[in-house]
Structure 1
Amino acid sequence: MAAKRITMRKIRDVLRLRYEAKLSVRQINTSTKISVGAIQKLLTKAKELKLSWPLSAELNDVELAKLFYPKADTRKASRFQIPDWPEVHKELKAKGVTKLLLWEEYCQQYPNRCLSYSQYCDRYLNWAKKQKRSMRQTHKAGDKLFVDYAGQTMSVVSPTTGEVRSAQIFVAVVGASNYTYAEATWSQSLPDWLASHVRTFEFIGGTPVMIVPDNLRSGVSKACRYEPELNPCYQQLAEHYGVAVVPARPYKPKDKSKAEVGVQIIERWILARLRHHTFFSLAELNQCIASLLTEVNLKPFKQLPGNRLQWFEQLDKPLLNALPAHPYQYVDIKIAKVNIDYHIQYDQHLYSVPHHLVGENVELHAGDKLVQIYFKTHLLASHVRKHYPGTTTEPGHMPKKHAKHQQWTPGRLKNWAKGIGPEVLLWVSEQLESREHPELAYRVCLGLLNLTRSYPAVRLNKACAIANQKSLVKLKNIKAILTSNQDKLPLDKTEATITLPQDHENVRGPKCFH
């Protein structure tokens, strides 16, 4: 009974301390332990009612309660009004909502039938302990998105070859509402992993504060309990969307319990229902998953009111951050060492960087249309992406003495080779014609022609003759011929005999052999 009387008595205490003792709101808060906001509301209401101290003797607790809380239940009762614990649990997920605030609102609604604050907290904790283990974690609205891959895969049959491929199932769960997204991809590789995140953000219509992935190799380069190292591309996606990535600790499944449960639900309610279906494309599989996913998010909770979609609309969606103007485009990020020719290679194509960085490690960002090269976060070079073998050289990246090399053409190389000897011309011509792009042979041809600095033209021509005869196409083979002096050796005896004339007076004919 003391717990029931104290609420009404505190209204009187607030009025007395304000009007009689002339205390400030903070002093009343220290004395009564009532929140500052609640005290201010009481005093504002008392001013509207034009109440003065002392109160009228005819104004009892019930009538005083009706003045301040007209909609409150002021009936005397011997039993407490038990709060709606599922609703309390749902409200606690909202940002800034505390048990103290909910208890004060509960007391305003049931002033004569309310629990004390300590009883309110104790009963709520006892109720929460009886629920599923996954509910023991409290996830704030709009705070976390849990992502993972399902262990189960789905088979997709090629309609042309009949080949069967296994599609991976990506699952994402919003923390507070359990709102779920799922899709199929061909692999768990980095491009598919990041693209699934982009489509997830579009599905939920915004971005959370943080993403909680497993320690998948595509997302986390180095797993660590305290300082996991993110893949640079994953970090770039996080920066683009303004989210934080906090990987779950290794061997701590509770850190990503939402994802674990989400994967289980997708496997039971979607993949199990599709187990007898045959799919002939990834798009066909994703269309079926999307249809069943709508049913999953509309399925009522068993122990809580509403469903995933309703909770998402009420809790998470209003607090999600807006999506950027453009979705993230995948950029492959690699560390490369600058070669002695001040170029780095990506996807069989060579791109130049300033020549003074030879031997340094640079960071290469390869997008679909652009290749950018950074050194210590500074942009060094930007090239148009080429999807074929070759070389792209910026004249400003070259030393002055190398600048003239950019003017090389196949005709110029052949003219130089012709001046050395016909065998050299033949070897150079075959090099230029055997490559898909002549530029790919420039380096090896220049390497050959520059051998005239160390060897006479006659020797180089003879070495190329041996190489052409034996189909030697490597520059190192010609260098080996020169260093071993093979070009100075006489022709093979068998070859010399074949060239001798066959008619001679000393040659006996068949009539001499009877």
Structure 2
Amino acid sequence: MSRACRYDPDLNPTYQEMAMHYGVGVVPARPYRPRDKAKAESGVLVAERWIIAALRHRTFFRLEDLNQAIRELLEKLNHRRFKKRDGSRASVFENVERAAMLPLPAEPFDMSQWSHARVNIDYHIAFDHNFYSVPYRLANEPVEVRATPTTVEIFHKGKRVASHPRGRGKDQAITQNEHRPKSHQAHLEWTPARMVRWAGQIGPNTARLVERILSEKPHPEMGYRSCLGIIRLAERYSATRMEAAAQRALETNACRYKSVKSILKNSLDQQPLTHLPSLPPPPPHNNIRGGEYFE
């Protein structure tokens, strides 16, 4: 359960989906009340006593051998006669339970993972080291994320608003064109020009850094998150240090938020940038063919 309650417990969403897939109902027991599920507790005791205890002194070197031994003891247990009633577990299954069984669904259950997220101003949510788009009108709104091994679905107030194939890389932005605003003004006035002007209040190097980050993205909005982080670093470390760090990031081609943060954290902005001397050309040799060979 997601939240225990005597009268109205919240089921785990993944467990509830599995129950719906197989057409079964879930009636949670009260917390710390094992007698509410006496049949299940008794079944655990019987399995421990007649299967696990019977195998406790045996050693297995293959999983197939262990499964075969468990299967033999389970068959023996199921045909063991009841002490206080007629029949056995096997006979009850054949006479009562088998007729009530339903066929399995045509498709296997697809295990899902549920989580919560908040839409960033770039109308993407962060999940599993990647970014997935939603309609831009949901910027700053809380959403629910349902992820399977192949897809990522995003829900807002119980309604699905986006579905994406699940990214297998890291720091990938999976964006659908229909989620983008028709104009930058429609996107809460967060435009690339405004972001550059905001960075320009810190200094020209920071503005150049932000402009470069936005230009390297397939869609400028994908760089908003990094640019906001860089601008906020100036509030923490001062505009002077931010300018020096931005200059160092531009000269070393380290134009990422993590790189700029590392420069400031390690005080590299206060150290002179040493330029490595250019390497001399290799000495002439018969095994070195040179660039003319490939022309």
- Asked if Structure 1 and Structure 2 have the same fold, meaning a TM-score greater than 0.5 normalized by the shorter chain, the answer is yes
Determine the structure 1 residue equivalent to 2:71.
290
- Residue 154 of structure 2 aligns to a residue in which SS? strand
Contact map agreement 1:463 1:478 (CA 8 A) in 2: no
- Measured in 2, the distance between the counterparts of 1:401 and 1:478 equals 35
Question: Is 1:222 matched up with 2:3?
Answer: yes
1:329–1:463 Cα change, 3 Å: closer
CA RMSD, aligned part only? Answer: 4.1
Question: Deviations along 1:248-306, whole A, 9 cap, x unmatched?
Answer: 12232221111111111100111111212344566654443233212211112123222
Determine the structure 2 residue equivalent to 1:393.
175
Which of 182, 207, 223 is residue 443 of structure 1 equivalent to? 223
Alignment of 1:167-316 (within 5 A): 220-279=1-60, 285-316=66-97
Alignment of 1:449-460 (within 5 A): none
Give how far 1:447 is off. 3.3
Q: Which amino acid aligns with 1:309?
A: A
Structure 2 portions without partners, runs of 5+: 186-203, 232-241, 275-295
Q: What TM-score, normalized to structure 1?
A: 0.39
- Measured in 1, the distance between the counterparts of 2:10 and 2:247 equals 54
Q: What TM-score, normalized to structure 2?
A: 0.64
1:251–1:446 Cα change, 3 Å: closer
- Residue 302 of structure 1 aligns to a residue in which SS? coil
- Measured in 2, the distance between the counterparts of 1:231 and 1:445 equals 32
- Measured in 2, the distance between the counterparts of 1:277 and 1:464 equals 69
Q: Which amino acid aligns with 2:86?
A: P
1:277–1:349 Cα change, 3 Å: farther
Contact map agreement 1:353 1:381 (CA 8 A) in 2: yes
- Measured in 1, the distance between the counterparts of 2:226 and 2:158 equals 35
Aligned residues: percent identity? 42
1:479–1:445 Cα change, 3 Å: farther
- Measured in 2, the distance between the counterparts of 1:446 and 1:238 equals 42
- Residue 381 of structure 1 aligns to a residue in which SS? strand
Determine the structure 2 residue equivalent to 1:501.
none
Determine the structure 2 residue equivalent to 1:474.
259
Give how far 1:477 is off. 7.0
- Residue 2 of structure 2 aligns to a residue in which SS? strand
Q: Which amino acid aligns with 1:464?
A: Q
Question: Is 1:362 matched up with 2:143?
Answer: yes
Contact map agreement 1:333 1:363 (CA 8 A) in 2: yes
Determine the structure 2 residue equivalent to 1:88.
none
- Measured in 2, the distance between the counterparts of 1:333 and 1:233 equals 7
Contact map agreement 2:6 2:30 (CA 8 A) in 1: yes
1:282–1:255 Cα change, 3 Å: farther
Contact map agreement 1:333 1:365 (CA 8 A) in 2: yes
Determine the structure 2 residue equivalent to 1:464.
247
Give how far 1:396 is off. 1.2
- Measured in 2, the distance between the counterparts of 1:338 and 1:444 equals 13
- Residue 55 of structure 2 aligns to a residue in which SS? coil
Q: Which amino acid aligns with 2:259?
A: K
- Measured in 2, the distance between the counterparts of 1:371 and 1:477 equals 32
1:357–1:271 Cα change, 3 Å: same
Determine the structure 1 residue equivalent to 2:238.
none
Determine the structure 2 residue equivalent to 1:384.
165
Contact map agreement 2:122 2:224 (CA 8 A) in 1: no
Alignment of 1:122-133 (within 5 A): none
Determine the structure 2 residue equivalent to 1:334.
115
- Measured in 1, the distance between the counterparts of 2:225 and 2:122 equals 15
Q: Which amino acid aligns with 2:45?
A: Q
Contact map agreement 1:467 1:477 (CA 8 A) in 2: no
Contact map agreement 1:248 1:256 (CA 8 A) in 2: yes
Q: Which amino acid aligns with 2:260?
A: L
Q: Which amino acid aligns with 1:266?
A: A
Contact map agreement 1:464 1:478 (CA 8 A) in 2: no
1:387–1:309 Cα change, 3 Å: same
State the number of aligned residues: 229
Which of 298, 304, 317 is residue 98 of structure 2 equivalent to? 317
Contact map agreement 1:467 1:478 (CA 8 A) in 2: no
Alignment of 1:36-185 (within 5 A): none
- Measured in 2, the distance between the counterparts of 1:402 and 1:281 equals 63
- Measured in 1, the distance between the counterparts of 2:155 and 2:246 equals 44
- Measured in 2, the distance between the counterparts of 1:461 and 1:476 equals 12
1:321–1:358 Cα change, 3 Å: same
Contact map agreement 1:447 1:475 (CA 8 A) in 2: no
Q: Which amino acid aligns with 2:48?
A: E
1:261–1:400 Cα change, 3 Å: same
Give how far 1:245 is off. 0.3
- Measured in 1, the distance between the counterparts of 2:96 and 2:249 equals 81
